[in-house]
A and B are shown apart, each in its own frame.
Chain A
Amino acid sequence: MTTRAEFLTRIRTEMGRTRGLFQASPSPRPARPRERLELLRRELSERWPENLDRFTREFERVAGVLHRVREAREVPDVIARIAAERGMRSVVTWHGAALGVDVAGPLAARGLETSAAPDVEVAADERVRRRALAARADLGVTGVDLAIAETGTLVVVSGAGRPRSTSLLPPCHVAIFDRDALVASLLQAGLVLEAWHEGTPPATRGASINFITGPSRTADIELTLTRGVHGPKEVHAVFVEQGLPGVRRG
């Protein structure tokens, strides 16, 4: 079996034999990504309507459905309406603190079978039970850690109270966001990722970061576009105009 040392030695030997290299360097990285991100956020906070427009256009191009509400407390109504229109009965959601709004209580009160993820470590058999619940659920409700206008992309970071399966297993995904999640471009998202990784990364968040651009799709049979092959068939985003105060992001 090859060891790390042997493997690296082979690479170094070949590097030593390389001739005629041209000058090349990787992308310059921000020295203090978090500070840079703060600056960017201030700029973005003035341009959010324009970024939301762009996001909406691109999100709709990839078959996403955007809903707008004024206040956070209107969100459960939107979700209940989506469920009712499709005859959906069961909902799994992220923990309330990761959403920035309590949806589990109001949805249960409207008669939907609702289960919110706990934000602490639970035993293995409980994890299996909850995964099975998500696999059977009609609808999954998550927050959004980043929304990229240029591509109509929702970014979700996994962690305690933020199961990966919520945006993956149910056939319908509803994501809740506000203006603070918006960035203009993929390159700006790169800066956010740098900032998230600066210093010691959080111990309970970020094992899996997913960029979601519309519903799951395939064109593998005769190039015919078909949605919902493994992931959700539908993706909805709910924009809260007055914001989600106290939401925990990234």
Chain B
Amino acid sequence: MSEAAPATPLRERAGQALQDTFLQQALTIATTKFIGLRREAFGEFPEGEALRDQARAIKEATLQRLDHWIERLVDSIEARGGHVHYATSAEDARRIVLDIARRTGARMVVKSKSMATEEIHLNSALEAAGITPVETDLGEYIIQLAHERPSHIIAPAIHKTKGQVAELFERELKRPAEPDPEILTAIARAELRQKFLDADMGISGANFAVAETGTVVLVTNEGNGRMVTSLPRVHVALMGVEKVVPSMTDLAVFLSILAKSATGQKLSVYTSLVNGPRRGGEMEGPEEFHLVLLDNGRVRQIAGPLRESLSCLRCGACLNVCPVYRQIGGHAYGYTYPGPIGILLTAMLNGTESVKDLAHASSLCGACADACPVRIDIPRMLVELRKEVDEQRIAPWPERVVFGAFGWLLRRPALYRLSAPLGRLLQRPFVRAGAIRRLPLFFGQWTRTRDLPPVAARTFQERWADLEREARP
């Protein structure tokens, strides 16, 4: 178990999000924009559909020989003078990074955006060891100054207004700031430029690692990934084991679809291929290069029910189309990874117990599976998680009782037919203007934020029987 459970229940977290009118507006604007841009990008790219299939096949093939490709990657990196470390748990990973920082005398660390470092809560570990981590992706920088966590995989600060950012900069940076994105960005550029030049160590994630060539690949729009991997004297990349791809040919396939899925760009501004430490004659580049391979629950899923989610590229497309994410945003999920894929990743990293509520935070509409560039069947796995939550008896008891009774009834057609007239009788005191607006006892949970449609005056079965009678000669 690597992440602490949120302090408040999902219902409360979601409730707060639903009352936050700015958040509601920001989510609608952001997700709608991302959906449109993504659709446009693939619309202009007819070969995209075949490449999505190919990308999925590459992920699957790599997983089927993961030991081979990891060994190949390690050998290639070591042949270039890089170092590879193995972290089974989040704690292992933190200890490895801290050891490197201490040994090289690092006091200040610049970081480029990395969900893997968020997942292991690296920043608080660095701070506890007296090392200052500086997030350099603008969105991450904002939420670091605000002591918050990302609310979207690729747009971490979409929940903040420019006014809030200006106030934050004035308070934390002691600089006059105006609520204008252009001015705020210029302030961040000036602040962070000096940090890049002064930092002792750069920490990044990795979007991919190419086994054949020992290449760690970073995709960014701002250029902070290039700074972090080029300017400090030590570079540490932290990467989940599932990010390895066999060859440069494979990499080109993923690059063709990743940015289109994430932001609708044909390619992100910077795709950086990092091949180990500085070489002779180079003006910049780290003297030391380290790759930390992270398991943290992933390896167990090679043969587990969440195997498919090991193909995830972390593009965020499934968040943007999810009717639940679009309402409650990233923070309400309560863990590092939000959205439909986030529920699966949370279960992977923290165990099924951690998603006993979250497993239900989906309408199972299937939009996520359609949007996923590698066609991960997220709804299928969510249903399986619900089943597991039920079997492990960690679902709340009223839910288990109600669904148990419903299942029992469905298996008995004669009784089921009787249930309609019985329901019509029982609902009579509660129906107001064609809807049930309030139910007593714990059933009231259901009607707290929505109406329950009453049992119809004539059910489908009853109407069907009527029709058959009429059709008879």
Please name all residues of chain A whose beta carbon is closer than 8 Å to the beta carbon of B202 when the two chains form the complex. none
B192, B246, B282, B295: which contacts A158 (Cβ < 8 A)? B282
Q: Say yes or no: A204 contacts B280, CB within 8 Å.
A: yes
Please name all residues of chain B whose beta carbon is closer than 8 Å to the beta carbon of A16 when the two chains form the complex. 303
Q: How far is the CA of A16 from the CA of B302 in the complex (A)?
A: 9
B138, B158, B268: which contacts A213 (Cβ < 8 A)? B268
Q: Mark B168-189, 1 if CB is under 8 A from A, else 0.
A: 0000000000000110110011
Q: Mark A106-149, 1 if CB is under 8 A from B, else 0.
A: 00000000000101111000010011100100000000000010
Please name all residues of chain B whose beta carbon is closer than 8 Å to the beta carbon of A164 when the two chains form the complex. 226, 230, 282-285
CB distance from B266 to the nearest CB of A (A): 4
A122, A153, A187, A230: which contacts B223 (Cβ < 8 A)? A230
A17, A22, A160, A165: which contacts B230 (Cβ < 8 A)? A165
| Residue A26 interfacial (CB < 8 Å) | yes
| Residue B204 interfacial (CB < 8 Å) | no
| Residue A218 interfacial (CB < 8 Å) | yes
Q: Say yes or no: B66 contacts A11, CB within 8 Å.
A: yes
B276, B283, B295: which contacts A10 (Cβ < 8 A)? B295
CB distance from B94 to the nearest CB of A (A): 12
Q: Say yes or no: B273 contacts A119, CB within 8 Å.
A: no
| Residue B88 interfacial (CB < 8 Å) | yes
| Residue B224 interfacial (CB < 8 Å) | yes
CB distance from B201 to the nearest CB of A (A): 16
A141-184 contacts to B, CB under 8 A, are: 148, 150-153, 158-161, 163-165, 168
Q: Say yes or no: B223 contacts A229, CB within 8 Å.
A: yes
Please choose the segment from B250-258, B393-401, B465-473 that sits at the chain A interface, where 4 or more of its residues have CB less than 8 A away.
B250-258
Q: How far is the CA of A211 from the CA of B142 in the complex (A)?
A: 27
A2, A26, A28, A119: which contacts B62 (Cβ < 8 A)? A26
B88, B184, B274: which contacts A2 (Cβ < 8 A)? B88
Q: How far is the CA of A7 from the CA of B241 in the complex (A)?
A: 10
Please name all residues of chain A whose beta carbon is closer than 8 Å to the beta carbon of B282 when the two chains form the complex. 158-160, 163-164, 204, 207
| Residue B71 interfacial (CB < 8 Å) | yes
Q: Say yes or no: A213 contacts B247, CB within 8 Å.
A: no
Q: Mark A1-26, 1 if CB is under 8 A from B, else 0.
A: 11110111011101111110110111
A22, A220, A230: which contacts B227 (Cβ < 8 A)? A230
| Residue B165 interfacial (CB < 8 Å) | yes
Please name all residues of chain A whose beta carbon is closer than 8 Å to the beta carbon of B196 when the two chains form the complex. 230
Closest to B51 in A: A187
B136, B226, B249: which contacts A190 (Cβ < 8 A)? B249
Please choose the segment from A42-50, A76-84, A191-199, A238-246 that sits at the chain B interface, where 4 or more of its residues have CB less than 8 A away.
A191-199
Q: How far is the CA of A220 from the CA of B141 in the complex (A)?
A: 10
Q: Say yes or no: A207 contacts B251, CB within 8 Å.
A: no
Q: Mark B125-158, 1 if CB is under 8 A from A, else 0.
A: 0000000000011110010000000000001111
Q: How far is the CA of A178 from the CA of B64 in the complex (A)?
A: 43
A51-84 contacts to B, CB under 8 A, are: 58, 62
Known: A10-B88, A18-B307, A24-B57. A186 touches B281 (CB 8 A): no
Please name all residues of chain A whose beta carbon is closer than 8 Å to the beta carbon of B269 when the two chains form the complex. 62, 212-217, 231
Q: Interface residues of B, CB < 8 Å — how many?
A: 100
Please name all residues of chain B whose beta carbon is closer than 8 Å to the beta carbon of A117 when the two chains form the complex. 283
Q: How far is the CA of A81 from the CA of B60 in the complex (A)?
A: 52
Please name all residues of chain B whose beta carbon is closer than 8 Å to the beta carbon of A231 when the two chains form the complex. 222-223, 226, 269-270
| Residue B106 interfacial (CB < 8 Å) | no
A21, A207, A218: which contacts B64 (Cβ < 8 A)? A21
Please name all residues of chain A whose beta carbon is closer than 8 Å to the beta carbon of B284 when the two chains form the complex. 127, 131, 158, 163-165
Interface centre among A25, A122, A131, A222 (most CB of B within 10 A): A222
Q: Say yes or no: A203 contacts B280, CB within 8 Å.
A: yes
CB distance from B20 to the nearest CB of A (A): 15
Q: How far is the CA of A222 from the CA of B70 in the complex (A)?
A: 40
Please name all residues of chain B whose beta carbon is closer than 8 Å to the beta carbon of A205 when the two chains form the complex. 279
Known: A206-B275, A231-B226. A127 touches B283 (CB 8 A): yes
B217-233 contacts to A, CB under 8 A, are: 221-224, 226-227, 229-231
| Residue B392 interfacial (CB < 8 Å) | no
Q: Mark B265-309, 1 if CB is under 8 A from A, else 0.
A: 111111111111111111111000000010100011111100100
Please name all residues of chain A whose beta carbon is closer than 8 Å to the beta carbon of B160 when the two chains form the complex. 221
CB distance from B242 to the nearest CB of A (A): 11
| Residue B426 interfacial (CB < 8 Å) | no
| Residue B26 interfacial (CB < 8 Å) | yes
Q: Say yes or no: B272 contacts A209, CB within 8 Å.
A: yes
Please name all residues of chain A whose beta carbon is closer than 8 Å to the beta carbon of B70 when the two chains form the complex. 7-8, 11
| Residue B54 interfacial (CB < 8 Å) | yes
Closest to A168 in B: B226
Q: How far is the CA of A215 from the CA of B26 in the complex (A)?
A: 26
CB distance from B294 to the nearest CB of A (A): 10
Q: Say yes or no: A14 contacts B299, CB within 8 Å.
A: yes
A3, A193, A220, A221: which contacts B248 (Cβ < 8 A)? A193
| Residue A223 interfacial (CB < 8 Å) | yes
A4, A30, A222: which contacts B162 (Cβ < 8 A)? A222
Q: Say yes or no: B181 contacts A226, CB within 8 Å.
A: yes
| Residue B402 interfacial (CB < 8 Å) | no
B42-90 contacts to A, CB under 8 A, are: 54, 57-58, 60-62, 64, 66-67, 70-71, 74, 84, 86-88
Q: How far is the CA of A163 from the CA of B253 in the complex (A)?
A: 28
Q: List 19 A-B contacts (CB under 8 A).
A: A7-B295, A10-B88, A11-B299, A18-B307, A25-B61, A29-B249, A120-B281, A151-B267, A158-B282, A159-B281, A161-B281, A164-B284, A186-B256, A190-B253, A210-B272, A220-B155, A222-B26, A230-B136, A230-B189
Across chains A and B, which 7 residue pairs bring their CB atoms closest together, nearest first?
A: A160-B281, A190-B252, A231-B223, A220-B139, A17-B303, A193-B248, A163-B283
For the A-B complex with A17-B302, A189-B252, A194-B247 known, give 14 more contacts whose Cβ atoms are closer than 8 Å: A7-B295, A11-B299, A14-B303, A15-B66, A131-B197, A190-B251, A191-B249, A208-B272, A209-B275, A210-B272, A214-B269, A216-B221, A218-B222, A230-B224
Residues of B within 8 A of A (CB): 26, 29-30, 33, 54, 57-58, 60-62, 64, 66-67, 70-71, 74, 84, 86-88, 92, 95-96, 136-139, 142, 155-158, 160-162, 165, 181-182, 184-185, 188-189, 192-193, 196-197, 212-213, 221-224, 226-227, 229-231, 241, 245-253, 255-256, 263, 265-285, 293, 295, 299-304, 307
